[in-house]
Structure formats: C-alpha cells, structure tokens
Structure 1
Amino acid sequence: MVQIPLQPLRIPAGWDVSYNGLFEIDPLPELFPDRIPSDLFKEDMLQMNNDRADRLLDVGWYPDGDLVDGNYCVVVYEGDFSGRLIYELITRDRLELVATIERLLSEICHGKL
C-alpha cells in the first residue's frame, strides 16, 4: 500500500492544530478503483484554532467519503462552532483549498479577518 503524505501547509505562529488529516492527493474517483480509504476524504480533515484572534478554522469533505458528489469545505468561526460564521468556501480543487487555508491563516494573524 502506498503511503500518502500530509498536505504541506504554511502555518504562521499562533495556530494550534487540533487534528490534521488533510492529505496531498486530489479527490479523483479514478485514483481509487477498488475503494476509497476511509481516512482520506472525511468530514474531520483539519481543525486549527488561534486563541489570540479567537478564531477556529475547520476543513472537511462532505458528504463523507463521496468522491463523486463531495466537496471540500473550509469554514472560519469566531470563537468556536457556536460562534459567528466568518468565512466559508466549498470547492473540489485541492490547490484552491490549500491557497485559501494559507491566506486565511495569514489574514487572521494580521487582524484582517
């Protein structure tokens, strides 16, 4: 079995990673002819918080494990999931997702979001 590496991310200081299961692989059904490994495309992929900025960033794949109809979703909340939703992006493009995560992390650290 091939080991798939975690997706590299540029994370500025001040972020705590609660969990990271965002892998460096595109959501293409043809890459998984037999079955999709259950740990690759799931609702709980990446979660980070910045206490100083009072922000939570969360990334998941919805619906869980569905490579045909699913999408990445990245959200930013004020505080936690019960706080105000500040940002949301839904995409199938992993590179767009990564660029967005890195931009959001930076903007939050600089007080822009």
Structure 2
Amino acid sequence: MFFELQPLRIQAGWKITYNNFTEYDISIHGEEYSYELNEDLLQLISDKANIIIDLGWYVNGENGGNYIIQVVKEYDWENPVEKVVTWSKVEIIACIEKWTCYEFYTKFV
C-alpha cells in the first residue's frame, strides 16, 4: 500500500530538512505497514528563530512505540524547549501546526 505525505499547515519561514511523515496511522491501518514509521519522519528548521522541530517514531518494549516530537533551540538536543511523547497522530499534527505558528516560535527569537 502507498501512503501520501501527511498534509500539514505550516506557516512561511520554515525549511524542510526531510519529510517522511505519511498519512499512515497505526491506530487506523494496523501494524502491517509499520515500516512507514522510523526515527526520521520530519525535520523543520527556522533559521530566524534558530530552532528545529524534529519528529520520529521510537520503538519501546511496552506498547510497540511512540511518536516523539521536540523543539530544539541552538542545536541543544539534550535540553529540548518543548517535547511531546504520544501514540496519537492527531496530537502530533496539532503540535506541528501550533509550533510552526509565528506566535509560538517568535518567543525564541
């Protein structure tokens, strides 16, 4: 099965480093297509605010895995300024769309 890229509402000013974030949703499509999930799903960079939004799927022993999305300032990967761990794709999309809004990311400029 082929999955299109996930539509997202992202405001101007962001560069896409990579985008492998598809419409696949494990809660809808099941684990058969879980190859769509990996640690490098989406990375966005704002040069103006010097922040990175990074999204990946990380496998764990408890429930199979979770999305982890984080905002990293000035490449300080050890201390993200925002971080969400969830199994919910809806929550991840909401984070991306909120965090790429001008009102959110300009507090880091």
Report the TM range for the smaller structure's normalisation. 0.7 to 0.9
Distance (whole Å) between structure 2 residues aligned to residue 30 and residue 105 of structure 1: 27
* Aligned twin of 2:40: 44
Q: RMSD of aligned C-alpha atoms?
A: 2.4
Secondary structure at 2:100 match in 1:
helix
SS at match of 1:13: coil
- The 1:80–1:25 alpha-carbon spacing in structure 2 relative to 1, beyond 3 Å, is same
- Tell me, which stretches of 5 or more residues in structure 2 are unaligned? none
1:80-99 alignment runs, 5 A limit? 80-82=75-77, 84-99=79-94
Is 2:69 the counterpart of 1:71?
no
C-alpha distance in 1, partners of 2:34/2:96? 24
Identical positions, percent = 31
Q: Whole-Å Cα distance in 2 between the matches of residues 60 and 97 of structure 1? A: 10
Could you list the runs of 5+ residues in structure 1 that have no partner in the other structure? none
The letter for the 1-side match of 2:81 is: I
Report the 3-state secondary structure (helix = DSSP H, G, I; strand = E; otherwise coil) of the residue aligned with 2:81.
strand
Q: How big is the shift at 1:84? A: 4.1
Aligned to 1:56: 52
Tell me the TM-score normalised to structure 2 length: 0.84
Shift of 1:79: 1.7
Number of residue pairs aligned between Structure 1 and Structure 2? 106
Q: Secondary structure at the match of 1:112?
A: helix
Answer 1 or 2: which has greater helix percent.
2
